[in-house]
Amino acid sequence: KQEVDELQVLQKRVDEFDPKSTEAKTFADLPLSQPTAAGLQASHFTSLTDIQARAIPLALHNHDVLGAAKTGSGKTLAFLVPVLDKLYRAQWTEFDGLGALIISPTRELAVQIFEVLRKIGRKHAFSAGLVIGGKSLKEEAERLSRMNILVCTPGRMLQHLDQTAGFDADNLQILVLDEADRIMDMGFQTAVDALVEHLPKTRQTLMFSATQSKKVSDLARLSLKDPEYVSVHESA
């Protein structure tokens, strides 16, 4: 009962927060769950970067977001924070299956995202895993059905969705495409298209990129619904 009240209070804080406002300067200014706020604090993240200040409020309001900002601008937290809070507010549990899927172009970037997720997600009870190959498909498959959040590379994830019995993404709440420009440059368009075919249409999608290009907007057209565009430029 107390938990329910707490969730209602949190939801009200989100509803009352103008998603287009750029007033928030710190994570504490945002309507975030207690475990996310505590995980950020324990990881020594306090101030918001520009892309975080603009993208997180929109994402918390369930908008699809296409975010562009140069490398090093803090895009990882711009999607990990909304991922954690979306599942938290949905009271996601181990029985609900895969709630969030984060697609990265390379294994190395996937590992980096996973490490940030483990740090800031430490106060949450979600299970999270990496799907980047390197182990046998069978070994990976055995752990998949227990995962709430997966960070993956496109080819390997598609292999599981096509072949792993008893695993599906029918409940998925949120999809993240990170480094969308590199996903396209590395020739993953077909794999991502096929992946998206396995996902429910009612999900939220966040897409981030260091550069804007025709290929990125093509991918956005296919996977995002009426997105909010957030582009952060360096001031001259």
Residue 49 CB, nearest distance to ligand ADP (Å)? 5
61 interacts with Mg ion by CB under 5 A: no
Among positions 54, 61, 63, 75, the unique one binding Mg ion when judged by CB under 5 A? 75
Q: Cα(176)–Cα(196) distance, rounded to whole angstroms?
A: 11
Q: Which of 140, 149, 152 is nearest to 109 (CA)?
A: 152
Q: Restricting to residues 68-87, which ones interact with ligand ADP according to CB under 6 A? A: 69, 71-77
Distances (CA, A) of 114 to 121, 215, 218: 10, 26, 27
Largest CA distance in the chain: 53
Q: Cα(152)–Cα(106) distance, rounded to whole angstroms?
A: 9
Number of residues counted as binding ligand ADP (CB under 6 A):
13
Select 35 or 67, whichever has its Cβ closest to Mg ion. 67
Which of Mg ion, ligand ADP, none does residue 33 bind (CB under 5 to 8 Å by kind)?
Answer: none
What binding mask, one character per residue, do residues 16-45 give for ligand ADP by CB under 6 A, x or -? -----------------------------x
- Stretch of residues binding Mg ion (CB under 5 A), selected from 32-40, 54-62, 67-75, 129-137: 67-75
Among positions 48, 87, 144, 172, the unique one binding ligand ADP when judged by CB under 6 A? 48
Select 2 or 71, whichever has its Cβ closest to ligand ADP. 71
Q: Cα(102)–Cα(79) distance, rounded to whole angstroms?
A: 9
Residues that bind Mg ion (CB under 5 A): 75
Residues that bind ligand ADP (CB under 6 A): 45, 47-49, 52, 69, 71-77
